[in-house]
């Protein structure tokens, strides 16, 4: 058991001074409570401590495309044009390249305060759609990248079978993603075994790419055969065209279809949900399922705005992700989650309430609980039974100067672009010190070498 003393910490009950955190040798918090500081020998943490943030939706390889698909095409740009640029990028991406890109991404995420990433992984095969000699090749590369960076990983192999609703033939650019149900369940078993070998740093989960990419019969087959305790993720209601096509196919909108045809509950996470009607918002919130919103990507792709206020009022479970990684900062996701609502409503502090007057704190606590559900791991809180994942803020940083408690959180989220993070810890190990990852430069060199080849 190792003891850490925080001058202040955000516990589930609220801000508390002089908190002793006891962490076992496997990286789990055994106790977290206020103490008389002079009575305990402990490692003193150099600032206020808050729970680490879960990145609830990531496609790691897309970090290599970020900023590289912004030129306007002659007919104008939409999500669907961006998708074609993505497929062209994937023609050049192999296992070595993906690992280097993922290590760079995970290093950046840690420095910004993410302590676990939920990897929605559908890049299974080579550019021609041929299986690697080891079907787990790409999964192993992602696990290796997470281990090299020191970030916690929830790895979701993704089932992808069709090009559109109704089982349409996949496009050439989608061949890398495809698996039949047996092949998919083999991947899921492999990731689950990998999680056992990694002693809690890797958690397995189920992912269906979307209703347009997974026929209902395949979804049902996987749900019957897969372990009943794994988290389940799916993209849903991201684009108006997707909603229209789903209605033409089934008579229902995507979220409606899932609520009618799948056992959506607290295991489930629906990603984006930027096009829901009020009855879908309330119905989804009532199931306990988590919505993973990705505001920087949703803004970049023109997806639309999530109905944040209505979902929070319905006590819905919320998480954030950086998806395509046009941003790698949880602050930017939270800031634009709130700012989008301000622009749409003409009001400020939309995420706040009479019970939660600080929008920064309400959002961080919401995505702490929702992130844990999305990740399938007890994280997101400084409490016994949770992994020892936390962020140490620097109270002397200009962004936080003169602030305290919730003021630290509101300033972190809503004040400037300089990071006031001093340290980041995952599973009881310090992986960022003085704002820097110890292997930042080496990871960046490998990333630059790969990108110089990919962008030729």
Neighbours of 223 (CB within 10 A): 14
397 is known as an active-site residue: no
- To the nearest 10 degrees (0 to 180), the angle between helices 330-345 and 406-414 is 80
CB 107 within 8 A of CB 364: no
Catalytic residue among 303, 323, 389, 410: 323
Catalytic residue among 124, 125, 233, 272: 272
CA torsion 189-190-196-199 (nearest 10°) is -140
Q: Would you state the structure tokens that stand for residue 186, as one six-digit string?
A: 């083999």
17 is known as an active-site residue: no
CB 209 within 8 A of CB 271: no
Which H helix or E strand runs over 185? helix 181-197
DSSP state letters, 357-381: --HHHHHHHHHHHHHHHHHTSS-SS
- What is the 3-state secondary structure of 18-83? EEEEEECCCCEEEEEEECCHHHCCCEECCCCEEECEEEEEECHHHHHCCCCCCCCCCCCCCHHHHH
Q: Say if residue 315 is exposed, middle or buried (CB neighbours under 10 Å; 0-12, 13-18, 19+).
A: exposed
Bridge partners (DSSP) of residue 158 are 207
CB 286 within 8 A of CB 293: no
Residue positions annotated with a catalytic role: 272, 323
């Amino acid at each position: 058991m190792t003891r850490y003393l925080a001058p202040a910490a955000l516990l589930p009950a609220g801000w508390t001074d002089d908190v002793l955190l006891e962490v076992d040798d496997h990286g789990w918090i055994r106790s977290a409570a206020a103490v008389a500081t002079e009575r305990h020998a402990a490692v003193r943490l150099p600032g206020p401590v808050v729970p680490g943030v879960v990145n609830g939706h990531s496609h790691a390889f897309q970090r290599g495309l970020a900023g590289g698909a912004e030129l306007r095409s002659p007919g104008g740009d939409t999500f669907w044009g961006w998708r074609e640029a993505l497929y062209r990028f994937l023609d050049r991406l192999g296992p070595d390249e993906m690992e280097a890109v993922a290590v760079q991404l995970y290093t950046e995420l840690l420095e910004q305060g993410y302590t676990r990433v939920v990897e929605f992984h559908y890049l299974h095969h080579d550019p021609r759609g041929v299986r690697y000699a080891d079907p787990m090749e790409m999964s192993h590369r992602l696990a290796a990248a997470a281990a090299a960076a020191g970030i916690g990983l929830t790895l979701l192999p993704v089932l992808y079978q069709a090009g559109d609703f109704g089982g349409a033939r996949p496009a050439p650019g989608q061949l890398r993603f495809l698996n039949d149900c047996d092949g998919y369940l083999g991947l899921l078993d492999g990731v689950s075994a990998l999680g056992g070998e990694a002693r809690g740093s890797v958690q397995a989960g189920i992912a269906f790419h979307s209703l347009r990419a997974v026929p209902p019969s395949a979804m049902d087959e996987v749900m019957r055969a897969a372990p009943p305790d794994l988290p389940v993720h799916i993209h849903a209601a991201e684009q108006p065209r997707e909603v229209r096509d789903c209605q033409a196919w089934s008579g229902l909108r995507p979220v409606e279809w899932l609520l009618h045809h799948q056992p959506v509950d607290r295991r489930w996470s629906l990603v984006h949900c930027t096009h829901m009607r009020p009855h879908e918002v309330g119905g989804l919130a009532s199931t306990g399922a988590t919505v993973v919103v990705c505001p920087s990507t949703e803004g970049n792709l023109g997806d639309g705005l999530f109905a944040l206020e209505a979902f929070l009022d319905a006590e819905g479970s919320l998480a954030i992700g950086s998806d395509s990684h046009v941003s790698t900062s949880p602050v930017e996701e939270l800031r634009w989650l709130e700012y989008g609502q301000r622009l749409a409503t003409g009001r400020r502090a939309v995420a706040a309430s009479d019970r939660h007057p600080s929008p920064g704190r309400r959002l961080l606590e919401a995505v702490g609980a929702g992130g844990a559900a999305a990740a399938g791991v007890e994280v997101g809180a400084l409490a016994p039974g949770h992994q020892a994942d936390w962020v140490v803020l620097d109270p002397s940083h200009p962004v936080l100067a003169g602030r305290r408690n919730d003021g630290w959180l509101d300033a972190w989220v809503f004040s400037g672009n300089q990071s006031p993070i001093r340290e980041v810890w995952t599973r009881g190990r310090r992986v960022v010190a003085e704002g820097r990852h110890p292997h930042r430069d080496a990871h960046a060199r490998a990333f630059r070498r790969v990108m110089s080849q990919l962008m030729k």
